[in-house]
């Protein structure tokens, strides 16, 4: 794409990127901008001019739904660039713009709600930005925003004009922040529980990915493990079910499994997205960090599900091997010595840490080579 002179661009287009400009010119201007946002270079160029960014934002409120949709699409493209995300969130003309966007996303009759979800999903991807948005959300007077996001996502008829699947991605990004997780895991409400069925949500891979990522993020909070594993949430079967296949187990093994995993039909299939499977394994691994959590996960016969999944995964995506092996080691390994039961609290000497890292890397190389060999066969 040709080089753009940003000053020139600002001078020529800036005046039309304004809600008060004439309809046909506005339309042409936003079309042009949308075209520029298609390329990495164009995104970076536009990002340098705050006035242009503000102009685009102003057009998201245009009376013409065509123009506002194009403005949102331009912003979505721009927000794939990490630098731009921070700039968009800190435009001097638009304070706390993320709250405004979130409100539109959660407006149950807004036709652009899906575009807003995409935009928020992109904008919250960099951790810094997630942090900033989370702070805005938590500080805002409408303190129900996080739980409202969950409600909107989980209610299929919330907005007839939008699916809101990308909201799951926003939740996943925001749940990197501890205070957001505290809201998701409010023990006096029913919030995270509602997300659980969406682990098996066949209609949307995006929604599934977001929900599983959110659950994985929550699994890092050791102090919530007992609650997550207990009957209030009962998260383990939800994490295991997508990893279970059609294998039959004998009666004894079957009865020890959580009820949701017993007597699965012969056409039971595993989660089709490799990355989701990996996140599920990692979440279960996290839940094994404490002694009580570990013994609970073991007592539910998690091992036989993971064992069968492991055999299957070797034929599908060998790059998930290290995550699975970490989990299996814990499931069938001996309990650590007294005083080291909380695996997260155990201090590992740096030299050993280096050694483990290298071993992991070597393992990975080996696995990938094996994988390649298989492919050429």
What is the binding site for other proteins (CB under 8 A)?
144, 147, 151, 154-155, 188-190, 193-194, 231-232, 234, 237, 248, 259-260, 262-266
For residues 151 and 273, which CB has a smaller minimum distance to other proteins in the complex?
151
Report the nearest approach of other proteins to the CB of residue 305 (Å): 15
How far apart, in whole angstroms, are the C-alpha atoms of residue 331 and residue 295? 9
3-state helix, strand, coil in the chain (%, to 5): 65, 0, 35
Closer residue to other proteins (CB): 144 or 345? 144
Question: Which SS3 state, helix, strand or coil, does residue 276 take?
Answer: helix
CA distance 174 to 128: 10
Looking at beta carbons only, is 18 or 256 nearer to other proteins? 256
Distance (Å, rounded) from C-alpha 258 to C-alpha 301?
A: 8
Q: Which residues contact 120 (CB under 8 A, 6 or more apart)?
A: 98, 101, 102, 105, 133, 166, 167, 170
We find the least distance from the C-beta atom of residue 189 to other proteins, in angstroms, to be: 5
| For other proteins, the closer CB: 40 or 155 | 155
- The distance of closest approach from Cβ of residue 246 to other proteins in the complex, given in angstroms and rounded to an integer, is 11
| Residue 190, C-beta contacts closer than 8 angstroms, at least 6 positions apart | none
Min separation Cβ 157 and other proteins, Å: 10
All residues at 6 or more sequence positions from 104 whose CB lies less than 8 Å from its CB, including other chains: 110, 112, 113, 116
Q: Nearest distance from residue 107's CB to other proteins, in Å?
A: 16
Q: How long a stretch of residues is the chain?
A: 377
Which tokens is 261 given?
């995993």
Decide whether 138 or 151 has the Cβ nearer to other proteins.
Answer: 151
Q: Tell me the closest approach of the beta carbon of residue 190 to other proteins, in angstroms.
A: 6
Taking the complex as a whole, how short is the minimal distance between the CB of residue 98 and other proteins, in angstroms? 23
186 Cβ contact list (under 8 Å, min separation 6):
147
Residue (124 or 183) nearer to other proteins, CB: 183
Query: For other proteins, which is the closer residue by CB, 188 or 373?
Result: 188
* Closer of 19 and 304 to other proteins (Cβ): 304
Is residue 68 within 8 Å of residue 52, measured between CB atoms?
no
Residue 171, H or E segment: helix 166-174
Q: Smaller CB distance to other proteins: residue 254 or 343? A: 254
Nearest Cα residue to 284 out of 273, 271, 294, 274: 294
Q: Tell me the closest approach of the beta carbon of residue 293 to other proteins, in angstroms.
A: 20
Q: Tell me, what DSSP letter sits at residue 164? A: -
Q: What number of H helices and E strands is found in the chain?
A: 22, 0
CB of 248 to other proteins, least distance (A): 8
- Helix ranges, 92-144 (H): 97-105, 113-123, 127-139
Phi, psi of 326 (to 5 degrees): -55, -45
């Amino acid at each position: 794409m040709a080089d753009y002179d940003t000053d020139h661009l600002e001078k020529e287009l800036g005046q039309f990127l304004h809600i008060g400009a004439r309809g046909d010119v506005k339309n042409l201007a936003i079309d042009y901008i949308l075209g520029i946002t298609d390329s990495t270079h164009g995104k970076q160029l536009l990002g340098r001019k705050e006035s242009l960014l503000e102009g685009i934002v102003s057009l998201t409120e245009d009376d013409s739904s065509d123009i506002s949709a194009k403005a949102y699409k331009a912003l979505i493209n721009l927000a794939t660039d990490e630098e731009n995300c921070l700039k968009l969130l800190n435009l001097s003309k638009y304070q706390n713009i993320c709250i405004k966007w979130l409100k539109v996303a959660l407006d149950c009759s807004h036709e652009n709600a899906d575009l807003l979800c995409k935009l928020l999903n992109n904008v919250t991807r960099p951790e810094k930005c997630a942090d900033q948005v989370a702070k805005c959300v938590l500080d805002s007077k409408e303190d129900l925003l996080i739980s409202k996001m969950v409600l909107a996502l989980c209610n299929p008829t919330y907005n007839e004009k939008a699916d809101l699947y990308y909201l799951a991605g926003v939740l996943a990004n925001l749940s990197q922040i501890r205070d957001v997780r505290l809201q998701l895991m409010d023990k006096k409400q029913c919030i995270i529980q509602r997300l659980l069925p969406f682990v098996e949500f066949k209609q949307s891979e995006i929604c599934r990915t977001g929900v599983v990522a959110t659950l994985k993020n929550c699994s890092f909070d050791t102090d919530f493990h007992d609650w997550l594993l207990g009957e209030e949430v009962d998260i383990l079967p939800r994490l295991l079910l997508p990893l279970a296949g059609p294998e039959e187990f004998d009666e004894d093994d079957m009865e020890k499994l959580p009820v949701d995993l017993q007597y699965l039909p012969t056409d039971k299939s595993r989660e089709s997205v490799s990355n989701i499977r990996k996140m599920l394994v990692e979440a279960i691994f996290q839940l094994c960090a404490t002694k009580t959590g570990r013994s609970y996960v073991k007592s539910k016969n998690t091992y036989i599900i993971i064992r069968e999944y492991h055999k299957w995964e070797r034929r599908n995506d060998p790059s998930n091997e290290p995550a699975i092996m970490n989990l299996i080691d814990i499931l069938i390994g001996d309990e650590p010595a007294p005083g080291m039961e909380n695996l997260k609290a155990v201090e590992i000497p740096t030299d050993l840490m280096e050694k483990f890292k290298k071993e992991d890397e070597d393992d990975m190389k080996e696995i990938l080579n094996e994988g390649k060999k298989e492919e050429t066969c």
